[in-house]
Amino acid sequence: MREIPAAKPRVCAVSFLNTSPLVWGMVHGPQRGVFELDFQIPAICADHVASGEADIGIIPSFELTRQELEIVPGTGIACHGPVRSILLISKRPASKIQRLAVDSSSRTSVALARVLLARRYKTRPEFVPHAPDLEPMLQIADAALIIGDPALHIDPATLPYEVHDLGAEWVETTGLPMVFAVWAGPKEAVTPEVIDIFRESCRYGRERIEEIVATEAPRRGIAPELVRQYLTKHIVHELGPKDYEGLRMFLDAARAEVPVGQAAR
């Protein structure tokens, strides 16, 4: 592992399960203590990087339409099919949704919902921010967008509603992966040494999935098999050229569909 300057870079990570392999080395492995780590929801990570409170953060991809940031290449959060943790749950056909209650903790997920509803289902509903609680959301809207760990606590097969996995729908619509988040920061913060450490931490975590399952499943109240499947079958952490092609397509679509300065409403 290369050396980095004595002053610890401030890194804002995400508290969702899907980030665990990315930071496992920074928390439990050889990269421990290299960074000053803070855990937040994705939207707050983006704000901390924008304000200078963090040098590098796990940034919702949508934020790249609004901030000029340098991506830490090679690692992130993506899917090549169903993602399982971004669910649009609707009382009516997607093309008939007029009001959508959204958990706005991830700007990328909200922007993705807006893009897919507009381009795949030809509808542009009103977006209403709401805490991630399904039944109250469906009391005030036609559909609900549930993301992250709250979505993993829902069994789609048991619901009497339409359930749309937005990762799967993006891949079906475009033929490309969907990248939900990347490590990014100001250009001067993304040095070769820092890039190496982020990649090494990711590799360390990916090699210790069973350790992550044993730790995170009981802590989060999610079945071990679902945690294992989620981290090995649904989420992709090591990104390549196709992932970045998908990212560029998503950013172009988001710029076209999301009002300037707006993601959730």
Report pLDDT for 82.
98
162-203 confidence digits (pLDDT tens): 999 999 999 999 999 999 999 999 999 999 999 999 999 999
Report the alpha-carbon distance of residue 99 to residue 127 in Å, rounded. Answer: 6
Q: Is the same domain home to 92 and 220? A: no
Q: Is the pLDDT of residue 239 over 70?
A: yes
Which are the contacts of 256, defined by CB distance < 8 A and separation ≥ 6?
Answer: none
Report pLDDT for 195.
97
**Domain end point (choices 148, 174, 200):** 174
Q: What average pLDDT does the structure give for the chain?
A: 94
Q: Is the same domain home to 109 and 131? A: yes
Owning domain of residue 22: 10-79+177-249
**CATH number of the domain that residue 107 is part of:** 3.40.190.10
Q: Is the same domain home to 31 and 71? A: yes
**Domain end point (choices 157, 174, 191):** 174
Q: Is the same domain home to 97 and 226? A: no
Report pLDDT for 105.
76
Triad 89, 93, 96: Cα angle to 5°: 110
Q: Is the same domain home to 153 and 215? A: no
130-150 confidence digits (pLDDT tens): 999 999 999 999 999 999 999
Report pLDDT for 262.
57
**Domain end point (choices 174, 206, 226):** 174
Q: Is the same domain home to 210 and 185? A: yes
Report pLDDT for 260.
62
Q: Is the same domain home to 160 and 190? A: no
Report the alpha-carbon distance of residue 39 to residue 26 in Å, rounded. Answer: 12
Report pLDDT for 43.
81
Q: Is the same domain home to 212 and 145? A: no
Is 138 part of any domain? yes
Q: 106 pLDDT band (50/70/90 cuts)?
A: confident
Q: Is the same domain home to 181 and 158? A: no
Q: Is the same domain home to 146 and 204? A: no
Q: What is the tally of structural domains in the chain?
A: 2
Average pLDDT over residues 21-29: 96
Q: Is the pLDDT of residue 109 over 50?
A: yes
What b-and-e string marks burial along 166-200, b requiring 16 or more CB atoms within 10 Å of the CB?
Answer: bbbbbbeebebbbbbbbbbbeeebbbeebbebbbb
Calculate what percentage of the chain has a pLDDT beyond 70. Answer: 95
Q: Is the same domain home to 55 and 94? A: no
Q: Is the same domain home to 60 and 116? A: no
